[in-house]
């Protein structure tokens, strides 16, 4: 249940979280799940030597001043070289450096794997930290498998698949720039550099090309909830699931991801029953404790299916 949460609570929790920081990426405060009443606008991340803050709503000047004092106290503790603030509620979600000097190269480190970040010039940093358990699932289930990574973004799943012993990975995303970052992530972690395929295609129009490298033993579907002009989960997700039988091997595992608050797990389960009946639901992956949510079905949904 949500609890009343005060500024003093935030201060104590943040200072405690900072005191146990390491190089690993850590969500220090997650208000987006509406678990902490009145703090839905705020998230705070520890990214090695950078403290990264995001506001999702405009807040009162008096509260913003108090928060700045808190960030200043954390910065003065000497554990961070820089503090970055992003205002996600403004057009283009501008970011600003509010304390310190930003390191030239910034990486999110998760389970010893590094991912290249862009903190000041993009709405999204290049890394979605709430997907950690999904990435762990891929790493743990990729041994000797041909992997298809749909909506691959910066190819974090691909890197994890190779770390888990995948035989090959095909990454598909229509954005060439994020695929270039994906190449950087493979080079950074020294995996799959010569055998990975990168397909800069609109998935919904490219199934024949994607199929040529199959059949696949592990398929990851991690689309945006809505991307103007290219994908809307409500009408387009079924087009992906409908194609699974022709892309999948006989014992293929599917990780189907959904991060739309207005769509629940049943949405995917029904589509799978209607469009790819041979795929049976296995389980939903648990979400991370550091991303608490008032309602679990409005949070990230990672569903596992298997072909029988």
- The CATH number for 229's domain is 3.40.50.150
Tokens of 13: 């929790």
Tally of domains within the chain: 2
* CA atoms of 159 and 200, how far apart (whole Å): 18
Q: Which of 243, 224, 244 is nearest to 234 (CA)?
A: 224
Beta-sheet pairing, 248-258 with 216-221: parallel
How many CB atoms neighbour CB 92 within 10 A?
Answer: 9
219 and 84 inside one domain: no
Model pTM above 0.75: yes
Same domain, 140 and 106: no
Final residue belonging to a domain, choices 116, 143, 163:
116
The number of beta carbons lying within 10 Å of the beta carbon of residue 124 is 15
Whether residues 31 and 136 share a domain: the answer is no
Residue 90 in domain = yes
- Residue 253: name the closest of 231, 226, 272, 271 by CA: 272
Domain boundary among 116, 143, 158: 116
Query: Looking at the domain assignment, is residue 151 inside a domain?
Result: yes
Condensed to tens digits (0 to 9), the pLDDT of residues 214-254 reads 999 999 999 988 777 778 999 999 999 999 999 999 999 99
For 64, the domain range is: 3-116
* pLDDT-based confidence at residue 300 (cuts at 50, 70, 90): very high
Label residues 127-147 b or e (16+ Cβ within 10 Å = b): bbbbbbebbebbbebbeebbb
Q: What is the pLDDT of residue 124?
A: 87
What CATH number should be reported for the domain holding residue 47? 3.30.750.80
Which of 116, 145, 179 corresponds to the end of one domain? 116
Whether residues 105 and 162 fall in one domain? no
């Amino acid at each position: 249940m949500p609890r009343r949460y005060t500024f003093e609570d935030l201060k104590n929790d943040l200072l405690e979280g900072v005191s146990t920081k390491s190089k690993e990426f850590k969500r220090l405060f997650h208000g987006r799940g509406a678990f902490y009443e009145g703090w839905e606008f705020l998230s705070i991340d520890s990214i090695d030597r950078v403290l990264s803050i995001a506001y999702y709503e405009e807040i009162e000047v008096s509260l913003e001043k108090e928060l700045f004092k808190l960030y200043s106290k954390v910065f003065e503790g000497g554990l961070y070289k820089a503090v970055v603030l992003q205002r996600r509620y403004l057009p283009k979600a501008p970011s600003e450096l509010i304390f310190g000097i930003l390191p030239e190269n910034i990486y999110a480190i998760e389970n010893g794997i590094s991912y290249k970040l862009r903190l000041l010039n993009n709405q999204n940093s290049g890394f979605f930290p709430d997907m950690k358990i999904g990435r762990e699932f891929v790493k743990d289930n990729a041994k000797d498998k041909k992997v298809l990574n749909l909506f691959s973004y910066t190819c974090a799943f691909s890197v994890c698949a190779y770390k888990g012993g995948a035989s090959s990975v095909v990454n598909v995303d229509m954005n060439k720039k994020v695929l270039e970052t994906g190449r950087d992530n493979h080079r950074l972690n020294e995996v799959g550099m010569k055998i990975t395929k990168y397909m800069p295609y609109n998935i919904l129009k490219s199934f024949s090309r994607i199929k040529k490298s199959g059949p696949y033993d592990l398929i990851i579907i991690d689309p945006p909830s809505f991307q103007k002009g290219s994908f809307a989960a409500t009408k387009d997700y079924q087009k992906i699931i409908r194609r699974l039988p022709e892309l999948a091997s006989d014992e293929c595992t599917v990780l189907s991801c959904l991060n739309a608050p207005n769509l629940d797990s049943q949405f995917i389960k029904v589509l799978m029953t209607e469009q790819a009946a041979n795929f049976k639901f296995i389980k939903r992956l648990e979400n991370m404790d550091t991303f608490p949510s008032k309602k679990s079905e409005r949070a990230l949904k990672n569903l596992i299916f298997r072909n029988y």
